[in-house]
Amino acid sequence: MIEGWRWYGGFDRIALSEIAQTGAASIVTALHEIPYGEIWPRRTIAETRARINAAGFEWSVVESLPVHERIKRGEGDLTELFANYRQSMANLAAEGIKVICYNFMPLLDWTRTDLKAPVKRGGTCLRFSVEKMAAFELFMIERPGAEAGYTTGNIAAAKSWFESSTPEDRDILVTAIMAGLPGAYDRYDVKGLQRALAPYEGLDRNALRQNYRRFLEEVMPTAEDLGLKFGVHPDDPPRDILGLPRIVSNAQDIDWILSAVDSPANGLTLCSGSLGANPENDVPAIARQFADKVHFAHLRNVAKDPDGSFEEAAHLAGDTNMATLVSELLTEERRRKASGRADCEIIFRPDHGHELLDDAQRGAHPGYPLIGRMRGLAELRGIIAGLNHASGRA
């Protein structure tokens, strides 16, 4: 397996020279400065690649080449947006990119209610609280019909939290939820989010699926021609949010996606944290079921609560048996090698991490501290080395 590391380019508080000290071999990044829907210029891609190479890394995975929200909504004439997307794909392929990670989550890329939840023995982590999310939907943005997504107990707890919260508490909650908005452009207050949600009214699961199928039909033939592999990132969290449907949340969803357009380019980014937040998901079993279509992997762990809340655990300490999961990926690598498949090694990255020691002083992107992720990478490296040794492949 190839050790990767997520880097936010010029927006990142962590330098490539520091990432080099973690031992990671491959940088996972994107052109975060380019607005969604615009073409990624080949020159800019080449400059980014040269900077990464000069620091001693490879750049094989883009995370992500974003899908414009109008495509997700199926809104208007999408000809130019699809043409721009395909041109960006061609420019990436021309510069040696092999894998494109992307998601099809409407409006929000990911959602958390706490960016600095305390961790036992020190440090902080990202957390999703059903109680706070319900309070936000029911009592702060007052979304019509929101109560249908919560139990009576959730609603009672949400009301209690809201009534005892201070204006500062509510501001912190808004900031945490807004952190999941993609890119560097749009951040909303409560009223702004209400307006941003309006264009999605009436977008149900079936409509979103059909818009997704069209996206796959538009880009997968080009991906095959260019030798690119696509890996869809699962929903984070794997549940409807703010009335927006989520359609990449479990094995059945993944099977639908991979069957919608039967192409070797159409694959999965296996995110153990996103999938692991759904109590019905057996993440190692999902990895086994779709192993030949895993084009990229995010390895992290979550600890779930009975009410549906969860927090990001240490990489080897959550609800998913990481050794079992990694064993499935190593088995797939051996199968690929035996079949002569060129992309036999799976690139992974330690996804997220606790803020530890002086991480908090850096102001890095939420979930992407230096020390916390380095701990995660070291733990995963140990699991891989141990499994390889046990199988006689050390």
Q: Please indicate whether residue 351 is annotated as part of the active site.
A: yes
Q: Please indicate whether residue 271 is annotated as part of the active site.
A: yes
CA pair distance 16, 1, nearest whole angstrom: 21
CA pair distance 394, 391, nearest whole angstrom: 8
Q: Which of 125, 352, 354, 359 is catalytic?
A: 352
Q: Which of 271, 282, 315, 354 is catalytic?
A: 271
CA pair distance 319, 276, nearest whole angstrom: 7
CB 147 within 8 A of CB 155: yes
Q: Which of 233, 295, 315, 354 is catalytic?
A: 233
HEC per residue, the chain: CEEEEECCHHHCCCCHHHHHCCCCCEEEECCCCCCCCCCCCHHHHHHHHHHHHHCCCEEEEEECCCCCHHHHHCCCCCHHHHHHHHHHHHHHHHCCCCEEEECCCCCCCCCCCEEEEECCCCCEEEEECHHHHHHHHHHHCCCCCHHHHCCHHHHHHHHHHHHHCCHHHHHHHHHHHHCCCCCCCCCCCHHHHHHHHHHHCCCCHHHHHHHHHHHHHHHHHHHHHHCCEEEECCCCCCCCECCECCCCCCHHHHHHHHHHCCCCCEEEEEEHHHHHCCCCCCHHHHHHHCHHHEEEEEECEEEECCCCCEEEECCCCCCCCHHHHHHHHHHHHHHHHHHCCCCCCCEEEECCCCECCCHHHCCCCCCCCHHHHHHHHHHHHHHHHHHHHHCCCC
CA pair distance 238, 248, nearest whole angstrom: 7
Q: Please indicate whether residue 188 is annotated as part of the active site.
A: no
Q: Which of 68, 298, 315, 354 is catalytic?
A: 298
Q: Which of 114, 236, 282, 351 is catalytic?
A: 351
CB 328 within 8 A of CB 275: no
Q: Please indicate whether residue 68 is annotated as part of the active site.
A: no
CA distances from 337 to 156, 230, 298, 330 (A): 54, 20, 21, 11
Active site amino acids: 233, 271, 298, 351-352, 368
